[in-house]
Structure 1
Amino acid sequence: MINDAISPLDGRYFEKTRALEPYFSELALMKYRTMVECEYLIALSALGKTALRKFSPSETKTIREIYEKFDDASYKKIKVLEETTNHDVKAVEYFIKDALAKTALKDCVEWVHFAITSEDTNNIAYALILSASLEKVIVPEIKIILGEINGLAKKHKDLPMLARTHGQSASPTTFGKEMKVFASRIEKQLEYLVAVKIRAKLNGATGNYNAHFVAYPRIDWLAFSKNFIHDLCLEPNLISTQIECHDNYVAIFDTLRRINTILIDFSQDMWRYISDGWIIQKPKAGETGSSTMPHKINPIDFENSEGNLGLANALFEFFARKLPVSRLQRDLSDSTVERTFGAAFGHSYLAYVMLLKGLRKIEINETKIKQDLMAHPEVIAEAIQTVLRREGVEMPYEKLKELTRGKAVTMDDLSRFIDSLKVTDKVKAELKAITPLNYTGLASKLAS
């Protein structure tokens, strides 16, 4: 924990968010920038159409080791250089040049950052950061949550439960089916998320390959840019201004925001089920729920998750509004915003961790769920009036409305109502067989 950290992500929640450190720390950003610059230098050499000589395998290895062995000392060297340059990417360039100047590659140092702008380096670095953090951390964590929810759906697919619409008792469902609703929603958004192709550009100061073309007009720089970005497992954007337009970043952030919104909905429902006694939280020895009320076990993990999901979504929503907008060929306002990507991902990841913590210490109170369902026999009024419609009985809805709306009814009341109907004994038996516990339609099948 960093005791004097401004953000709780680096203070109170330091240990819980460390999985994102290799991607969103300042050191990580410098490492990814260094990687882009080094791989660009190697690609220029491999092209074989410039004055830059072809590197030997050992020389290529030497260049790659600059970022592969990037550590605190490397980072500190860049920060020292930045004190003079007041430009972080230029400091990265000088750091690489200094490293190469001590090797057999000293004759090639001026090819570092050749013809490109800092945003070429930056946008590719951020694209790689987003791609890696999604693949290695965020998506796997969401899949774990999905697995937990699907597990609840499968285990409790046949557990009848009172549904509520507008906060009022409604046609029964099953606990498992309600879990499956959330799982299904998350699965669909995950499909969208992994399908987003992260784009990047490498085309110079205003997107026209000006410096590249003036130096080597016979080289197909469009093909070079396309191949270079493809080799980094990214999608090339060949037409841009100085900046990559960030539209596909927004697609990622909007999809994460939808996933987070689904999980807010889920957290709030779980909170309500705990409040109703339908879900029991297992106590942990030594923990305190309230500083004054000794009995309490508060649903703090679900509440913590909900709060962090909201914080993340506020940032994602701002990113979506801000990042696609840049004055003319480029202004710098996106740069400081990009540095907060880690905050949005950090609050999301923390929310996922806390949600999983909450899910792993609950038990479903089947007895209480069934008791509460049976306390609302009025929910089968829909079933009765629907069967009566089938049988051609006049105004069945109105008859059931008169019997049940705004009134406390019992199963005996419904039984007497059924006895009074002018239908066959077979239909009466059919109606009396309907109970809140078995009037769940296809819920069990839907949950499977």
Structure 2
Amino acid sequence: MSNTTPQTTAGTRVILAEANPPVALGALDGRYRAAVAPLVDHLSEAALNRERLHVEVEWLIHLTSQQVVPGAPALNDNEQGYLRAIVSDFGSAGITELGEIERTTVHDVKAVEYYIKRRIAAAPGMLGETVLPEVGELVHFACTSEDINNLSYALMVRGAVQQVWLPAATALVDQIADMAREHAAVPMLSRTHGQPATPSTLGKELAVLAHRLRRQLRRIENAEYLGKLNGATGTFGAHLAAVPDADWPAVSKSFVEHLGLTWNPLTTQIESHDWQAELYADVARFNRILHNLATDVWTYISLGFFKQIPVPGATGSSTMPHKVNPIRFENAEANLEISNALLDTLGATLVTSRMQRDLTDSSSQRNIGTAFGHSLLAIDNVARGLKALAVDETILGADLDANWEVLGEAIQSAMRAASVAGVPGMENPYERLKDLTRGHRLTGEQMREFVGTLGLPDDVAARLQAMTPASYTGLAEKLVADYL
């Protein structure tokens, strides 16, 4: 379609809603389209309709291949292939045609049914002799719209998670884990309550976050995707009325499992969506841990622990040329918060439905793509941001060297152990170190002199006097190696 400029009149602005190509309303389909485009194949309106086509076609094939409906002819491989091509060939032309049908039906699932029936009617012209026109009325047989929709959404969400979101999230966590291993031995002053605290290593702190994120990924990898096909109120009423001798629960179960989903035997008109709420809670928890990483890394940048590698040609500030802003992590924070607002809302609303059915879930589920889109965008930003960081060990070392008082914990703990071992003069170790260190900055020489006055055994005193804030990292490096 060629570009056109919408008309305007003197004294008025151009009407952007009339621009062609259309102007995106939201950032995900505009500014950030490239980062989230893979989700379009799974969570867009077109993807929903493609999955509806898939479910309807597979239900028709299932009914005929299992000889569920008496008198229905079996379909040969060419006929089954013809039907499945309706799904695989669904693209721009099909989207347009389906939209035209829906403008008449004013019902999205009914439009899908008619779309398939058009192609069944056209089958003799494509295949020659075929029984497909004889099974046209088995399209959408005994189904309510929610039979098709719940299965379609389960397939959509499963595809989005397993093929797009999980690979991106896993790659990011692997990237964080690699950074943790690389910097496992780099000492870093910790901060608890924002105050100098027992040193750790940069790698160990990154490993904590990688470990937390991986635990959530395991939960998401093991998610169940439920589906049902049991009619208008979950009773198989129409099924039984049409074909009373069929074992409809068994037929339903085998079909849902054929789609690769877990069968839900007890529902109202809708599948209860509990699995969605469970999944979205896990994704939201992953998002919150990632948000924690983004804020921590942002803080480490502000402390100078990380240097940001400038991108040639990029501008950090419109007025301050020296700045390289941590925008990747700030962008991630915002998108994670938006994603979680949507995921939390979906999880809270989808598990309730008035009596046997209301339509609030229909509108809510159309925002699943947006929720995953903002999460995927955040993952992309964090990954890009981490790639542009370099550790400044000079600043890390200076920070440690300016805080010798953090060794007070080590010294008073050694005094406690010596007291238990019977060494005299080890009374009130915590209080003595508190008097020495609380609210005071000490030099290494002052700390060593103090240790020399304590009366500790020579080997213990020597070990403590050799200790520095940079060496007081405990098992941090080994923990990364052993448990990440």
**Pair in the same fold by TM > 0.5:** yes
TM-superposed deviation, 1:6: 1.2
1:109-148 aligned at under 5 Å gives the runs: 109-148=136-175
The residue type paired with residue 47 of structure 2 is A
Establish whether residue 84 from structure 1 lines up as the match of residue 138 from structure 2.
Answer: no
One of 431, 437, 441 as aligned partner of 1:408: 441
One of 434, 441, 446 as aligned partner of 2:467: 434
SS in 1 for 2:390: strand
CA distance in 2, matches of 1:203, 1:309: 37
Instruction: Determine if contact 1:27/1:72 at 8 Å carries over to the other structure.
Output: no
TM-superposed deviation, 1:424: 3.0
Instruction: Determine if contact 1:2/1:10 at 8 Å carries over to the other structure.
Output: no
One of 15, 40, 45 as aligned partner of 1:26: 45
Residue in 2 that maps onto 1:218: 245
CA distance in 1, matches of 2:217, 2:184: 23
Residue in 1 that maps onto 2:198: 171
TM-superposed deviation, 1:40: 0.3
TM-superposed deviation, 1:423: 2.6
Instruction: Determine if contact 1:2/1:14 at 8 Å carries over to the other structure.
Output: no
Residue in 1 that maps onto 2:455: 422
One of 122, 129, 134 as aligned partner of 1:102: 122
TM-superposition CA deviations, 1:392-421 (whole Å, max 9, x none): 110011000000001111112211211221
Moved over 6 A (4+): none
CA distance in 2, matches of 1:420, 1:45: 92
Residue in 2 that maps onto 1:155: 182
Establish whether residue 36 from structure 1 lines up as the match of residue 67 from structure 2.
Answer: no
The residue type paired with residue 56 of structure 2 is E
| RMSD (CA atoms) | 1.1
Residue in 1 that maps onto 2:478: 445
Establish whether residue 275 from structure 1 lines up as the match of residue 302 from structure 2.
Answer: yes
SS in 2 for 1:207: coil
1:9-408 aligned at under 5 Å gives the runs: 9-50=28-69, 51-103=71-123, 104=130, 105-392=132-419, 393-408=426-441
TM-superposition CA deviations, 1:247-275 (whole Å, max 9, x none): 00011100000000000000000001111
CA distance in 1, matches of 2:35, 2:414: 55
TM-superposed deviation, 1:425: 2.8
Residue in 2 that maps onto 1:6: 25
Aligned length: 448
TM-superposition CA deviations, 1:97-150 (whole Å, max 9, x none): 011111131222111000011100000000000111111100000111111111
TM-superposition CA deviations, 1:38-80 (whole Å, max 9, x none): 0000000011131321111111111101001111111111111
The residue type paired with residue 428 of structure 1 is A
CA distance in 2, matches of 1:338, 1:424: 69
Unaligned 5+ runs, structure 1:
none
TM-superposed deviation, 1:426: 2.8
SS in 1 for 2:454: coil
Range moving further from structure 2, 87-96 or 77-86: 77-86
Q: Percent identity?
A: 44
TM-superposition CA deviations, 1:198-235 (whole Å, max 9, x none): 10000000000100011111111111111111111110
CA distance in 2, matches of 1:62, 1:130: 26
TM-superposed deviation, 1:301: 0.5
CA distance in 1, matches of 2:187, 2:314: 33
Residue in 1 that maps onto 2:423: none
TM-superposed deviation, 1:166: 0.4
TM-superposed deviation, 1:3: 5.7
SS in 1 for 2:32: coil
TM-superposition CA deviations, 1:280-326 (whole Å, max 9, x none): 11111110011111111000011111110110000000011100000
TM-superposed deviation, 1:422: 2.3
CA distance in 1, matches of 2:68, 2:307: 69
TM-superposed deviation, 1:346: 0.5
Instruction: Determine if contact 1:48/1:54 at 8 Å carries over to the other structure.
Output: yes
TM-superposed deviation, 1:368: 1.2
CA distance in 2, matches of 1:123, 1:87: 16
SS in 2 for 1:280: strand
CA distance in 2, matches of 1:144, 1:129: 22
Relative distance call for 1:428 and 1:87 in structure 2 (3 A) is same
CA distance in 2, matches of 1:388, 1:404: 16
TM-superposition CA deviations, 1:135-187 (whole Å, max 9, x none): 11000001111111111111111111100100000001000100100110011
Range moving further from structure 2, 415-424 or 432-441: 415-424
TM-superposition CA deviations, 1:334-379 (whole Å, max 9, x none): 0011011000011011111111110111111112111111111111
Normalization by structure 1: what TM-score? 0.98
CA distance in 2, matches of 1:285, 1:193: 38
SS in 1 for 2:26: coil
CA distance in 1, matches of 2:149, 2:401: 61
Unaligned 5+ runs, structure 2:
1-19, 124-129, 420-425
TM-superposed deviation, 1:2: 6.6
CA distance in 2, matches of 1:49, 1:297: 67
TM-superposition CA deviations, 1:76-99 (whole Å, max 9, x none): 111111111111000000000011
Residue in 1 that maps onto 2:3: none
